Amino acid sequence: MNLYSYFRSSASYRVRIALNLKNLPYQIIPVHLVKSEQLTEDYSTKNPSKLVPSLELDNGKIITQSMAILDYLENEYPATPLLPNNHYDRAIVLSMCNIIACDTHPINNLRVLKYLTGELKVSDEQKQDWYAHWILVNFTALEELLKVHSGQYSFGDEITWADICLIPQVYNANRFKVDLTNFPNILKVVENCQKIEAFIIASPEKQVDFE
């Protein structure tokens, strides 16, 4: 499989972790978002949203959107499950995922930040305030769920999609220097995940396009 990825993209980071956890071979094809490589005609035919990631399967078919890719991998390669079987437990994990993938990431990603500073002319300080605000609001909600449901990881002692979504978002929060000291359960989960090889080799610093 080919994964069209940008080293700093948290959505791409999610998919890299999942592929590693499921021990699936894949090749990274870098798409440099800052250089607007996602806007080229060639890439746009692969992903009409002009975003990363895109996963190209062995048969040439392409899946876009990180959560759709995770769903495909979960169903196609069930030997290493990353979602609970119990319907309630699964719903809780998906709630955690959605706090990040729906409530946080879409309004803090690169194209939104570029729009804020470009079209809306906000200052770098205002952009930083915007980013930190949504991290703090949504991490506060997530922290409450982790108080109830976390063990070593976000949901008990088994790695799930919740961890796959959380680690990249924390990475970006740290990059933007957001103070996370009020989220001890989040930090506990991050510390435990960062000891696992699948997470380590998925990190931005380990990517072929890292700058």
| Interatomic CA distance for residues 205 and 13, integer angstroms | 11
Token pair, residue 115, equals 């729009």
194 to 159, 205, 207: CA distances (angstroms): 12, 13, 16
Label residue 110 by pLDDT band (50, 70, 90). very high
Query: What Rg value do the Cα atoms of the chain yield, rounded?
Result: 17
pLDDT at position 152 is: 98
| Residue % of the chain over a pLDDT of 70 | 100
Give the pLDDT score at 164.
98
Residue 104's pLDDT is what?
98
State the pTM of this model: 0.96
CA distance 55 to 21: 16
pLDDT for 43: 96
123-166 pLDDT, tens digit per residue, is 999 999 999 999 999 999 999 999 999 999 999 999 999 999 99
Domains and CATH numbers, the chain: 2-80 (3.40.30.10), 87-197 (1.20.1050.10)
- The mean pLDDT of 173-178, rounded to a whole number, is 97
Exposed, middle or buried by CB within 10 Å (0-12, 13-18, 19+), for 68? exposed
In tens, the pLDDT along 65-109 reads 999 999 999 999 999 999 999 999 999 999 999 999 999 999 999
Element at 129 (helix H, strand E): helix 124-149
pLDDT of residue 12: 98
DSSP string across 57-126: -TTS-EEESHHHHHHHHHHH-TTS--S-SSHHHHHHHHHHHHHHHTTTHHHHSHHHHHHHHTTS---HHH
Residue 175 confidence (pLDDT): 96
The predicted-structure confidence for 197-210, as pLDDT tens digits, reads as follows 999 999 999 999 99
Banded pLDDT at 7 (limits 50, 70, 90): very high
